[in-house]
């Protein structure tokens, strides 16, 4: 790891995994970073501040009321010094405090006061992790642009088996390094992203839809915004909250999506069409709910406009990325789509594998462009989003 000389504030909370933070601190120091550890009172029950002081060769802070070094306002100075703050392990308790903006000890005060990127690696019992309250706290933090290093599945200290085990030191380190190296390569760029599936009405309560969750498109929009772009996200119906830093337009049908996209396309430097837009819609949508006793024998469909093809024809200099969900001959079909739709890149996935793709958190895709084909391997949708935005950035600067 290259020594960057950056200041990393490491927050340690009262979880059994606190001992693993010793390894994290060692690795950060070894990587050339200055490491300042701040602990909750509960954390000191698990690992002594002396251990962290020795590993970091820096004073360790626990109390807000102790004498501050160098006559500074310590609770703010630590926050200001940080290039990145990482909380590992993060208890359910501290996660909840951060989600509602509480600052009643040195660690949470520093986290609230800092302008530096925040990385949180939660660790807790599986039932605590799955509780609705915890899920909401995680989403709230993620929605504010905080990097969450998800806990792993496995045997937990309490004997339960499930997710909740602190992510590996390597994973936490990678997230810290990625925040430190966060590229702001898209400042001044305008990027239009579409996400989710569309709902095509049969009557006022029924529709034809598809299984797209919108996760990939939302992750792309958020990643582009984090890298400095002004992002417009046009999304079909989804339960996902608005991603951090994006202007979001929510639509229902393919026709509405077309109108929202075309209204913003001319101003965009890049367009990423990750939405699963329905190819067909019922030719007639009944204005009243169809009675059970009047079930139609068939529903006549008519084609929806091909938004991607339209963009391919009129995009000017904008970079155009399309998606292909295929069940066979994935690469060949994606390459044909690349040419037919006039795209710079097709992100293709094999939706015949139920363990990845629609509705799941992981995917494996092919990046098909005129330069060749690359495989992502099975990785999280967030990681795929990063890989797509990397390529987007390359096309825009190339």
Ligand X SMILES: Cc1cc2nc3c(=O)[nH]c(=O)nc-3n(C[C@H](O)[C@H](O)[C@H](O)COP(=O)(O)O)c2cc1C
Q: Which residues are catalytic?
A: 210
Closest approach of ligand X to the CB of residue 39, in Å = 8
Give the integer Cα–Cα distance in Å for 113 and 107: 10
Asked whether 263 and 310 are in contact (CB, 8 A), the reply is no
Q: Smallest distance, Å, CB 131 to ligand X?
A: 11
Distance from CA of residue 183 to its chain's centroid? 16
Provide the minimum distance between the beta carbon of 129 and ligand X in the complex, in angstroms, as a whole number. Answer: 9
Q: Quick one: which of 7, 21, 40, 235 contacts ligand X (CB under 6 A)?
A: 40
Segment 101-160, which members bind ligand X (CB under 6 A)? 123-124, 128
Q: CB–CB of 104/97 below 8 Å?
A: yes
Size of the site for ligand X (CB under 6 A): 15
Q: Rank residues 44 and 256 by Cβ distance to ligand X and give the closer one.
A: 44
Q: In whole angstroms, how close is the CB of 13 to ligand X at the nearest point?
A: 4
How far from the centroid of its chain's Cα atoms is residue 133's Cα? 20
Asked if 99 and 140 count as a contact pair (C-beta separation under 8 A), the reply is yes
The CA distance from 348 to 356, in Å, is 13
Of residues 70 and 104, the one with the C-beta less far from ligand X: 104
In terms of CB distance, is 171 or 378 closer to ligand X?
A: 171
Per CB under 6 A, 44 contacts ligand X: no
Which residue, 56, 167, 39, is CA-closest to 108?
39
Instruction: Tell me whether residue 109 or residue 235 sits nearer to ligand X (CB atom).
Output: 109
Instruction: Report d(CA 116, CA 127) in Å as an integer.
Output: 31
Q: Is 43 a residue that touches ligand X (CB under 6 A)?
A: yes
Phi, psi at residue 80, to the nearest 5°?
-75, -35
186 touching ligand X, by CB under 6 A: no
CA distances to 141, 178, 226, 392, 393 from 397, in Å: 32, 21, 18, 9, 6
**389, 227 contact by CB (below 8 A):** yes
Residue with Cβ nearer ligand X (17 or 195): 17
Is the previous residue joined to 376 through a cis bond, with omega within 30 degrees of 0?
no
Which of residues 156 and 186 has its CB atom nearest to ligand X in the complex?
156
| Window 66-95: residues binding ligand X (CB under 6 A) | 91-94
Nearest approach, Cβ of 122 to ligand X (angstroms)?
8
* Cβ nearer to ligand X, comparing 19 with 280: 19
* Region 1-30 residues binding ligand X, contact defined as CB under 6 A: 13-17
To ligand X, the closest distance from the beta carbon of 7 in angstroms equals 22
C-alpha distance from residue 159 to each of 17, 41, 128, 192, 370 (Å) = 14, 25, 14, 47, 52
- Least distance to ligand X from the beta carbon of 10, Å? 14
Pairing of the two strands 84-90 and 118-122: parallel
374 membership: H or E segment, kind and range: strand 372-375
Binding residues for ligand X, rule: CB under 6 A, are: 13-17, 40, 42-43, 91-94, 123-124, 128
């Amino acid at each position: 790891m290259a020594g960057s000389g950056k200041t990393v504030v490491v927050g340690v909370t009262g979880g059994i995994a606190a001992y693993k933070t010793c390894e994290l601190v060692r690795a950060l120091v070894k990587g050339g970073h200055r490491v300042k550890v701040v602990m909750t009172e509960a954390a000191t029950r698990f690992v002594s501040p002396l251990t962290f002081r020795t590993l970091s060769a820096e004073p360790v802070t626990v109390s807000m009321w102790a004498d501050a070094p160098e006559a500074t306002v310590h609770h703010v100075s630590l926050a200001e010094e940080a290039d990145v703050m990482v909380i590992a392990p993060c208890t359910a308790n501290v996660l909840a405090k951060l989600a509602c903006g509480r600052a009643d000890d040195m660690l949470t005060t520093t986290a609230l006061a800092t302008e530096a990127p925040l990385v949180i690696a939660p660790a807790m019992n599986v039932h605590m992790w799955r509780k609705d309250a915890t899920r909401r706290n995680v989403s709230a933090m993620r929605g504010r642009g905080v990097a969450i290093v998800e806990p792993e599945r496995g045997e937990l200290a309490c004997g339960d088996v499930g997710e909740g085990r602190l992510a590996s030191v390597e994973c936490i380190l990678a997230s810290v390094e990625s925040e430190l190296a966060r590229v702001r390569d898209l400042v001044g760029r305008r990027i239009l992203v579409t996400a989710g599936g569309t709902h095509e009405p049969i009557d006022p309560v029924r529709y034809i839809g598809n299984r797209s969750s919108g996760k990939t498109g939302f992750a792309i929009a958020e990643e582009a915004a984090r890298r400095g772009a002004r992002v417009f996200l046009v999304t079909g119906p989804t339960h996902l909250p608005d991603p951090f830093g994006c202007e979001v337009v929510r639509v229902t049908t393919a026709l509405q999506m077309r109108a929202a996209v075309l209204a913003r396309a001319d101003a965009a430097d890049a367009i990423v069409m990750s939405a699963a837009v329905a190819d067909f819609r019922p030719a007639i949508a009944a204005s009243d709910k169809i009675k059970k006793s009047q079930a139609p024998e068939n529903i006549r469909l008519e084609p929806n406009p091909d938004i991607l093809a339209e963009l391919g024809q009129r995009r000017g200099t904008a970079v155009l990325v399309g998606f292909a969900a295929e069940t066979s001959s994935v690469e060949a079909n994606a390459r044909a789509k690349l040419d037919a739709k006039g795209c710079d890149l097709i992100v293709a996935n094999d939706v015949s594998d139920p363990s990845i793709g629609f509705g799941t958190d992981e995917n494996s895709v092919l990046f098909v462009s005129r330069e060749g084909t690359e495989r992502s391997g099975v990785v999280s949708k967030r990681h795929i989003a990063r890989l797509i935005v990397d390529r987007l950035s390359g096309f825009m600067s190339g």
